[in-house]
Amino acid sequence: MKELIKSLKMCDYLVTKITIGRSDSDVYRLVKDKDIMYLKIGGELVNNLTQVLTYLETSKINVPKIIKKGTYKNRFYVLMSECKGTMAHELEPLLAIKILARGLREIHDTKIDESLPLKDCVYYKNLITSKLIEELSNEDKEFIYSLESLDLQNDLVFTHGDYSLPNVLYDNDCISFIDLDYAGVSFRYLDILDCLWSINYNFNDKLYEDMFLKAYGIDELDINKVKSLKRIQRILKIKGYQ
């Protein structure tokens, strides 16, 4: 780690390891006077993050800017600028709901082209290629192989991949997004269900969940899509929807 900091010519920065969050990567905050940056080191998720941030450089989406990227001891790293703002869970609930809905529309409206990483749905790809499939029941196997015909598969958009309140920042009418390690093309309902779970966890009031859906543009959840996605997440053992 010291060698990497030295190679980045940042020995005069105060380096603090970030221990909160669910990331499997190592995350560090680097501070020098008013200059603040973040360094993330890890495996393929960091590589995906780097590709996503590169793709979004020309978009209207506010995300961290890449300062430097590369590999260190067989791991990927990316040095990023700080996104300023207050995390959504620290905002007044009614304002937070408006910001979350507006922000998710911005993300889902992001143009998808051939240069975007994970052009194939990440969940579908992981299921088909996973050794886990060998251990599943025949019923679950049939479900996985039928995914392409599901409505979920016909509603693919650019997704954040971890659209929870701490990953959405708000500052002077500007919305920014962080921790896009899982971002790419996937099911629209993936972000929606993640956000609903996070709203419930932070505000514990179903009224706010309903307000979010209406502000996003959904009058009523498609129960079949919800069931299918939860089944996918159960099979993949995604934390929070088991």
Q: Are residues 142 and 73 in the same domain?
A: no
> Where does a domain end: 81, 97, 128?
81
Residues 93 and 207 in one domain: yes
pTM: 0.87
Are 67 and 100 within one domain?
A: no
Give the chain's domain count. 2
Distance CA 194, CA 101 (A): 12
What CATH number should be reported for the domain holding residue 34? 3.30.200.20
Domain housing 64 = 2-81
Residue 123 binned pLDDT confidence (cut-offs 50, 70, 90) = low
Residue 15 CA to residue 2 CA, distance in Å, equals 10
Burial label, 174 (beta-carbon count in 10 A; 0-12, 13-18, 19+): exposed
| 149-185: pLDDT as tens digits | 566 667 888 999 899 999 999 999 999 999 999 898 8
